[in-house]
Structure 1
Amino acid sequence: MDDRTGPAGRRSRRFSQRQLLQQGNPGVMEHRLAHYLTAQMPGVDDVEVYDLARIYGGSSQETFRFRARWTQDGQNIERSLILRRDAAAGLVVAERDLEYTVYKALAGQGIPIPAVYFLELDSQWLERPFFIMDLCPGKPGNPYGAGDPYDGHGEEVGRHFWTIMGRLAAIDHRAVGLDRLRNGNESKGFWSLELDRWEAILDEGEGGDRTHRPRSVTLAAAQPAARASEAGHCPW
């Protein structure tokens, strides 16, 4: 007898929902996200999440874009947002709380970063931890595509990039409350400490085999940019 309303049927449906969430099914994720936003924003009504889609690239976290709208104090509000969720598995272990904390601390510092809203470490909502932030306007430059990746604005983009990097390096991380960062109490040597840490992570994932990743190559690639970062204050 096929009893889909009994305990076995309910367990099967819950298992199916979890599978779909794990896989990033848009319909299921939109439904769960709407419930989450409703719970996080007292005083809002009619929360709707739609147009959710995965953005592929990178492996440390899964990235989804979506739109959300709701009613608050009689006003209709609509936002384009990004959700960053822990990957199911991978060599790079993401520190989603670190990313969220840095973005939040740098708000108002003249750095073009998205506003962040919610950091959720409880897996009950989307099966894995995640955070939500604004979707920034514009598009990424793809140097591997046909034509000019910057649509004729390459020099301007380059100038802005290095201006922002200099501005970022000049920020005293302690003054914006980031002294709790890993290496946050160090005064120098950030690049060396991080190099050691990531080499250890890669060693663990690759069984200690550095045949295709000699330290000298990694070090040579890392040193120039890292030395430049030490001219400023920040340990990132």
Structure 2
Amino acid sequence: MTPPSEIDDRLTRFLSDQLDGVGARVVGLNRIGVGRSRDNWVFDLVTDRKGTEHREPLILRSDPDGGLVDTDRNVEFALLGMLENSDLPTPGARWLDADGRWLGRPSLIMQRCPGDCDYRVLSDSQRTITQRRALAESFCELLAQVHSTDWQALGLSAVLDGSGQLGAPAELDAWEKVLRQNQLEPLPELDFAIAGLRASAPEPARTVLVHADFKPGNILLDGDRITALLDWELAHLGDPLEDLGWVTQPLRRGEHLIDGAWDADDLIAHYEGATGFEVDRTSLRWWQAFSTFKTAVMQVSGLRSFLDGRSDEPFRPTRRVLSTLLDFVVKEDLR
């Protein structure tokens, strides 16, 4: 792990260069934890312009030595810049060190928005059921807003691949590629799932901006107010049911649903009301199965990273993940 003093020195030099010689100080540098794919450091940038001190809260996101999935800082940075022209609550992109020449590893610096992340906020016993249900509805409305974003007007296809095949077959191919690059042993359960998923892949409902990792843990809350949707590293153009499958799959139930107050049917109905689009339940079940497959592939990638000495957490496909996936393929007859 790079020591904070070195990060501080690198940041100061990089920001001074980007600011054309304006004196830059890094204040309050603090590592806020390792996302499963990025290292995150918060700090304030302090500059002095004509005797007036300016302070800007920022966050540094750097590629770790290893994680669950590899993504591209160039794409994430460009996307955040374009989304500043939308109504979505996203942090502004400030600077990019694409090749890590300054900061040691590919990194981006973005605005730090107010609020906190809590991936278990919908099960927070300090909130009433009514408050938690209201939050769940606001999360669902935010997802609907993502899918309603006019990606063509924003020119997102220049950053997110808008050509060629989109939707279920393309995503299955992409994640099978990640699996094959990282697996260390035979995984017949995943081979069986791939065959079933490929044979039953649905046609896309429509093409939208897909977040691909939508969850409370990627949403900043200031009280009950959403201030930002974070972690756009997996975003792409695709089928909106991909995100809906992710948030309604059984493995993520504790994050997105509330027992007795907000189940998957409630979420889907609220989404339909917010978007005006009817959700095809058969296609949605395919995407729920795909989401469990994607979870398993991330764990395979994480295990490879650990064994290569690039991360310190030994992920591996759990029996719960594999059995949930096989239940989908067999019970839903995805063959």
2:193 to 216, 223, 226: 216
1:24 equivalent in alignment to 2:7: no
Q: Quote the residue 1:66 is aligned against.
A: 43
Quick one: distance in 2 between partners of 1:91 and 1:136?
25
Equivalent residues in 2 for 1:127-138, closer than 5 Å:
127-138=104-115
Q: Quote the residue 1:112 is aligned against.
A: 89
* 1:138 CA drift (Å): 1.0
1:34 equivalent in alignment to 2:16: no
Quick one: distance in 1 between partners of 2:34 and 2:192?
26
Provide the alpha-carbon RMSD of the alignment.
3.1
Residues 35 and 149 (structure 1 numbering): CA distance in 2 closer, same or farther, change over 3 Å? farther
Residues 25 and 146 (structure 1 numbering): CA distance in 2 closer, same or farther, change over 3 Å? farther
Q: Quote the residue 2:140 is aligned against.
A: 162
Q: Which has the larger radius of gyration?
A: 1
Letter in 1 for 2:47: W
Is the CA contact 2:97–2:103 (under 8 Å) kept in the aligned structure 1? no
Quick one: distance in 2 between partners of 1:179 and 1:28?
37
Letter in 1 for 2:2: G
Residues 92 and 107 (structure 1 numbering): CA distance in 2 closer, same or farther, change over 3 Å? same
Q: Quote the residue 2:176 is aligned against.
A: 199
Quick one: distance in 2 between partners of 1:149 and 1:25?
37
* 1:176 CA drift (Å): 1.0
Quick one: distance in 2 between partners of 1:91 and 1:109?
29
Runs (5+) with no aligned partner, structure 2: 210-236, 239-335
Considering fraction of residues, name the structure with more helix: 2
TM-score, structure 1 normalization: 0.74
Quick one: distance in 1 between partners of 2:6 and 2:167?
42
Higher relative contact order (CA 8 A, sep 6+): 2
More off after superposition, 97-106 vs 205-214:
205-214
2:54 to 48, 67, 77: 77
Runs (5+) with no aligned partner, structure 1: 1-22
Residues 122 and 71 (structure 1 numbering): CA distance in 2 closer, same or farther, change over 3 Å? same
Quick one: distance in 1 between partners of 2:137 and 2:123?
23
Residues 210 and 67 (structure 1 numbering): CA distance in 2 closer, same or farther, change over 3 Å? same
Could you report, residue by residue, the CA deviation over 1:45-84 in whole angstroms, capped at 9, with x for unpaired residues? 3x11122222224332211111221112432111221111
Residues 200 and 66 (structure 1 numbering): CA distance in 2 closer, same or farther, change over 3 Å? same
Letter in 1 for 2:58: L
* 1:116 CA drift (Å): 0.7
